[in-house]
A and B are shown apart, each in its own frame.
Chain A
């Protein structure tokens, strides 16, 4: 018998010898089957092009003598007390992290710099300039700071995540490793951290206030993390694999109290049978896109947070792709991209955005006819306006500019804000 190490080295050859048997005889059948299968248009895939692959790195710390620590603690308590007394008389009222808020300024990236736009006056002010390529600004939920991506090195898709005060001052890098356009990133509800999700069951919290090391949490049995539940982010929506196939579940963020949400009754789902899940801003409902049996009909479904009252949101007939939806801040409406399939020609035709009432499922068009790839859009914090601009591939971010439109939700009229942007603008939330 050989040593364990030698045996392990021999295993690949042994397995190849046992199982590798030349090109299978079904090769030609397979090629014919593929030729008879229609490819899905690129825009039917979830547009999760924001971040991230991060690993944690512990910040080196220095051990201090206890006596000095005690003195420092006393000084800190004194300063904190004075600061609290000052804040108590001058505190700025902040908006809630989710739900309806007042509209503030807009942030947008253009030409590698970050600008602030007053949507009322149309006046833009540069906040982050210089030789670096900075883009995709995102306000914190309380609207007091923003984060953005700064390109590092020569790689066009590698970034660091930078946080700045509302006026662009106080910039600091909070990412601990290279950030890429792959997974998802969100400000926490309290604005104290940025949450990164690698979609494989790992959540990383980056401290945006102090210097705490990045906190990485791994959830066993989680195949894909969806989102923290508004408004307190105490629960996590995620996908896992059970004996019956893929399943949607909710658990507390400490990893306990897991319970099923969808599907119910032990039915079997494949991993791409349902996608694009979104909590409503009040956390009471979950929307997702379902296309049973891998059909071409992609429809939005809505259910309560416990999985009850599952129903198709819209009632339009025919074969459609309803994609990329966005809840209104008051959770009463959903706006979405859509394409209709023409059975006679085998082509998909883009339609104007649809906006649907969650209560009655009635859809109406809003905004102009988008290009073939659809549109990028979002509700304003007050829910009365939708920002709209032609959808683009992540590969073109920073290379082309478009002028966003503001769509009036009530009457459907639109106006331009007369600035060229290279990523969708983000709207500041202010207290009512």
Chain B
């Protein structure tokens, strides 16, 4: 069954079809949510919210071919809604367990990956959302901008800033202190 067929069936209320759609996407959506929110439990909440809303509102999706773009937009909104509800509340950074050695030459060591993770922790959620949607979910920047309700230029500048922060982190001295970041969207 192709994706369009699965979406059509799910739109008609078939739970199995929706479960198939979930299975192909859940891991990456969860990863994007953890990158944006920096908290495994919050990420779970955001993904659950996304999927439940997707199921509930699927009959309103007119073009099945836009399912993925729509789902990614729902996730971005769910994540940023959670951030807003918890604004000014300090979120402890939870480092994702790292199992396999990197195959990428720039960050082959554990320390480098931790540094990169800390660099992302230092960014505002709105900046991390651009990084997550663009690099983890593969959305082109105009689509990222539309999903986040920001001009394309702002999306580009946020991405530029985030990349610079990540690059700098890999040249700086390691800092093993746990990072914290206050909620906010800037």
Contact = CB atoms under 8 A, between A and B. Distances in A.
A239 to B, nearest CB: 9
Contacts of A27: 22-23, 26
A201 B142 CA distance: 13
A4 B163 contact: yes
Contact of B136 (A16, A45, A223): A16
Contact of A26 (B35, B48, B53): B48
Interface in A1-43: 1-2, 4, 6-8, 10-24, 26-27, 30-31, 33-35, 37-42
A401 interface: no
A358 B92 CA distance: 51
B153 to A, nearest CB: 10
**Most chain B CB inside 10 Å of its own CB: which residue of A19, A24, A33:** A19
Contact of A20 (B22, B28, B62, B81): B28
B151 A42 contact: no
Interface string B1-27: 000000000000101001100110011
Contacts of A21: 27, 30-31, 96-97
B129 interface: no
Given A26-B44, A40-B56, A244-B84, A35 B166 contact: no
Interface in A64-123: none
Given A24-B26, A30-B51, A8 B62 contact: no
Contacts of A15: 31, 35, 131-132, 135-136
Interface in B85-118: 85, 87, 96-98, 100, 102-107, 113, 116-117
B58 interface: yes
A272 interface: yes
A12 B58 contact: no
User: Range of interface residues on chain A?
Assistant: 35 or more
A243 interface: yes
Nearest to B85: A268
User: Range of interface residues on chain B?
Assistant: 35 or more
Contacts of A10: 104-107
B141 to A, nearest CB: 13
B124 to A, nearest CB: 13
Interface in A166-193: none
A2 B105 contact: yes
A240 B106 CA distance: 40
A373 to B, nearest CB: 11
Contact of A30 (B34, B48, B60, B105): B48
Contact of A34 (B27, B51, B103, B105): B51
Contact of A16 (B31, B48, B60, B80): B31
Nearest to A180: B63
Nearest to A27: B26
A19 B60 contact: no
B27 A22 contact: yes
23 contacts: A1-B106, A2-B106, A7-B106, A11-B131, A11-B135, A11-B163, A17-B113, A18-B96, A18-B113, A19-B31, A19-B32, A20-B31, A21-B30, A31-B15, A31-B19, A33-B52, A35-B15, A39-B56, A40-B57, A40-B59, A218-B151, A241-B80, A241-B84
Given A1-B106, A11-B135, A222-B149, 5 more contacts: A7-B163, A14-B116, A15-B35, A24-B27, A24-B30
